[in-house]
């Protein structure tokens, strides 16, 4: 129920903001707006404010919306109202009206990011977990426990890193855009700061998923290798493990952090069978040894080990909060960065350098809406900001059925001095519908594969 409510609220809000952008600028340009509708299908509720000719409506299927303006191309217009028709407005006004919807979504995203920056949010500190074996991070000399002070693309000036979230975002951009990354670190056990270079420019970053970070070797923040929430009757309980036990060694391998501990547990299976292993643990200052035989679980094509307990302590947290101007500016910058990254991924998908698996549809969006809402208001606002950016960027694409397609028509009109002919527009609209239907089909297929595969 939470997932459905969060999804409907998100969709309704983002569509309303998009259409309000069109509506507000249309009114400002002197265009008569006949109807402002959120959703399609049967009208559930309608109203009309005093002093306006616009009918506002809420319809049964909130999967879109529209602003219907007076337009001679759609219906006859009385002589006395021709100056109020959209098609009779100067090119500049028509461009502003069409562009206002996507821009409203981008402005909303910047504001949502700013609200999160102003209110403050707790993120894991930029402490690195032990890197994956053979990963780029391990090859760069990282061992785990380092604190990242500053970071940036290899050729850019390094910027302060406040949280692990800052670092994760930088690494994502670098991998997808083909940049190496320099990190200025302290620790573990070192006084002086040092720099390392992560060679991410040569990565095959066709998909933005967990495998991307596994190849980098940066899966999550550092956590102490502590056992917590042992399930009754599970492998950890049978072995005598208790909440608060600190794992020092598994077999002959020293355990440095929670991530390495999870990897060792997953790998404690040989030929599909769990392998009993001696664990050296620290329980309230007393060292002891227990024999742990993990349970086996199927994870995709692999059989992995599980112990039935929470593995790893809560990471060190930092509260990130910014002032009014700085918080708003960072919101604008994050919106710009996400927009550029979205366009770059779309461009790579178009030329085959990125997988179409990156496309997500309504099922995945609904799933993430519910999960983010369950995590609290801050995470839900961040989710809304991301989807708002995606909606804004998508509508600016030069597809004839989208706002970007209409802007493409106006560009042609501005260059040639003549509007696109009705015949050409009709053919382009058909092509745009076909492309959009194809994209929606791929996104829905990805949803079904991702959620039920």
**Can you say whether residue 445 is alpha, beta or left, with left for phi > 0 and alpha for psi between -120 and 50 degrees?**
alpha
Active site residue 19: yes
Q: Which two tokens stand for residue 260?
A: 């390495």
Exposure string (b/e) for 410-448, b if CB count within 10 Å is 16 or more? beeeeeeeeebeeeebeebeeebeeebeebeeebbebbe
By three-state DSSP, how is residue 377 classified? helix
Dist. CA 197–CA 137, nearest whole Å: 9
Report residue 305: phi and psi, to 5°. -90, 150
Dist. CA 207–CA 353, nearest whole Å: 10
Q: Is the peptide bond preceding residue 99 cis, with omega within 30 degrees of 0? A: no
Dist. CA 171–CA 177, nearest whole Å: 10
By three-state DSSP, how is residue 160 classified? strand
- Could you tell me if 214 and 132 are in contact, meaning their C-beta atoms sit under 8 angstroms apart? yes
Dist. CA 12–CA 18, nearest whole Å: 10
By three-state DSSP, how is residue 103 classified? helix
Dist. CA 367–CA 449, nearest whole Å: 13
- Could you tell me if 392 and 106 are in contact, meaning their C-beta atoms sit under 8 angstroms apart? yes
Catalytic-labelled residue, pool 19, 165, 295, 426: 19
Catalytic residue ranges: 19
């Amino acid at each position: 129920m939470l997932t459905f409510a969060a999804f409907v609220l998100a969709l309704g809000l983002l569509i309303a903001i998009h259409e309000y952008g069109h509506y507000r600028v249309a009114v400002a340009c002197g265009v008569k707006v006949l109807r402002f509708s959120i959703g399609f299908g049967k009208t559930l509720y309608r109203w009309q404010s005093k002093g306006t000719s616009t009918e506002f409506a809420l319809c049964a299927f909130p999967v879109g919306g529209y602003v219907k303006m007076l337009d001679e191309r759609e219906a006859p217009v009385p002589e006395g109202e021709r100056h109020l028709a959209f098609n009779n407005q100067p090119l500049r006004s028509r461009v502003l009206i069409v562009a206002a919807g996507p821009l409203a979504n981008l402005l909303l995203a910047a504001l949502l990011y700013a609200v999160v920056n102003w209110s403050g949010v707790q993120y894991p500190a930029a402490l690195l977990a032990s890197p994956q074996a053979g990963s780029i991070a391990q090859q760069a000399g990282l061992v785990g426990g380092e604190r990242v002070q500053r970071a940036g693309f290899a050729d850019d000036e390094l910027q302060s890193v406040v949280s692990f979230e800052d670092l994760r975002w930088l690494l994502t951009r670098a991998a997808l855009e083909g940049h190496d990354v320099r990190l200025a670190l302290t620790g573990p056990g070192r006084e002086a700061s040092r720099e390392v270079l992560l060679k991410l420019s040569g990565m095959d970053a066709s998909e933005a998923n967990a495998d991307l970070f596994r190849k980098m070797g940066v899966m999550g923040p550092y956590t102490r290798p502590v056992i917590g929430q042992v399930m009754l009757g599970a492998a950890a309980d049978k072995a005598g493990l208790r909440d608060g036990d600190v794992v020092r060694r598994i077999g002959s391998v020293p355990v440095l952090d929670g991530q390495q501990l999870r990897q060792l547990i997953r790998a404690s299976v040989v030929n599909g069978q769990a392998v009993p292993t001696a664990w050296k643990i620290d329980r309230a200052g007393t060292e002891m040894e227990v024999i742990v035989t993990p349970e086996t679980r199927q994870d995709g094509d692999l059989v992995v080990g599980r112990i039935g307990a929470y593995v790893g302590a809560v990471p060190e947290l930092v509260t990130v909060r910014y002032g009014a101007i700085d918080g708003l500016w960072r919101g604008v910058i994050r919106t710009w960065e996400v927009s550029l990254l979205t366009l770059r991924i779309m461009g790579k998908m178009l030329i085959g350098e990125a997988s179409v698996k990156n496309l997500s549809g309504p099922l995945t969006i609904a799933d993430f809406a519910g999960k983010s809402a369950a995590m609290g208001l801050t995470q839900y606002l961040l989710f809304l900001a991301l989807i708002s950016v995606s909606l804004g960027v998508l509508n600016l694409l030069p597809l004839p059925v989208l706002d970007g397609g209409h802007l493409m028509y106006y560009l042609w009109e501005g260059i040639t001095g003549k509007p696109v002919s009705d015949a050409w527009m009709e053919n382009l609209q058909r092509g745009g519908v076909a492309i959009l239907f194809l994209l929606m089909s791929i996104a829905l297929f990805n949803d079904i594969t991702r959620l039920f595969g």
